[in-house]
Every structure is written in C-alpha cells, then in structure tokens.
Amino acid sequence: MSRVGKKPVPVPAGVTASVTGQTVKMKGSKGELQFVVPSLVDVALEDGAITVTPKDQSKAARSLWGTSRAQVANLVEGVSKGFEKKLEITGVGYRAAMAGKALKLSLGYSHDIEYQIPAGITIVTPKPTEITISGIDRQVVGQVAAEIRDYRGPEPYKGKGVKYAGEFIFRKEGKKK
C-alpha cells in the first residue's frame, strides 16, 4: 500500500482543478499546468480534493499510484507558489550573468557558455556567483538546474564548479610528497 498515494491532494483557494478522463488540469495565479495520469491509475475530483487510486493490485499499478499522486501535488504547488532552485558557483574567475534572454557562464573554459533559457523559466543572477532558477513546472526547473550544473560540476579536490545551494561536496586530500 502506498502511503503517499493514500492521501488526497487538497486543492487550495485560488486554484481551479478539473479532471477529464486521465487528464488533470490546474489553473492558478502563477499559470496553468496539466498532467496525464497513467491508465493503470484512476483519478477523481471529490470535495475539493483530488484522489488517486490504482485500478487493480498489480505491481505496475501500485508503483504508479504514489508517483501519480506526487505529480498531481506538484501541479497544485506549481500553479499556486511555484518552484525555485539555487545554484552556487565556486572558483577563481567563475561567474554567471544574464545576457538578454540567455545565461552567460564563465567556467574556466577557453570560451563562455551561452545557455538559452527555455519558455516558462526565469533565471536571476543576484550575485555573479549565484543563480536562481524559478518556474511553475518542477520537472523543468530541476532539469534546467541540472543542465547548468553539468557544464562544470563540483570537483572533489578544490570544490570548484557549479553546485546546488546547500549541497555537500565530499572533499578529497591531494597528493602527498
């Protein structure tokens, strides 16, 4: 039994939800999102809350139950509050700046990296060593953060590179004489 899947997803005031077949649509102050629930799972809107239940007790249906409920909960949170990820840049000469609709990254390569920002995502650089990514779709926000981090991930010797805010980098000792 899924402990996550059992809980209904409450729809807060200011958010309109509609369920048609397997499609869940949410509309809130931040925007509009939709998610197509897998066919092994039923979804229903009852008493201002969305409930997700498996159609049968097969392993596949039970494994999609909690996942589908979490996806629906992310829709509710996205259209009401939105999501945000922060990245930190460590290293001499490493910096980030907005250049029009692109993010310009100087990460120690012979060239600067121009990252084209996808639709629905807002990137802000409050300091040259900080990047704040925000949007309403949790998956897209996380994907953008992962792609930016992937240009120069943190290395274990000096800790240089792009890391998530609050991420612990396991440090290694260098060579001994």
Do residues 111 and 76 both lie within one domain?
Answer: no
Beta-bridge partner residues of 161 = 90
**Residue 117 belongs to a domain:** yes
Kindly report the pTM of this predicted structure.
0.88
Q: pLDDT, tens digit, for every residue of 12-49?
A: 888 898 889 889 999 999 999 999 999 999 999 888 89
Do residues 107 and 146 both lie within one domain?
Answer: yes
**Residue 173 belongs to a domain:** no
**Residue 170 belongs to a domain:** no
Q: Does an H or E element contain 140, and which? A: helix 138-151
**Residue 132 belongs to a domain:** yes
Q: pLDDT, tens digit, for every residue of 70-110?
A: 999 999 999 999 999 999 999 999 999 999 899 999 999 99
Do residues 93 and 116 both lie within one domain?
Answer: yes
Q: Out of 41, 60, 80, pick the residue that ends a domain.
A: 80
Contact 69, 76 (CB under 8 A): no
pLDDT mean across residues, the chain: 92
pLDDT at residue 2 tops 70? no
**Residue 13 belongs to a domain:** yes
* CB burial of residue 148 (10 Å; 0-12, 13-18, 19+): buried
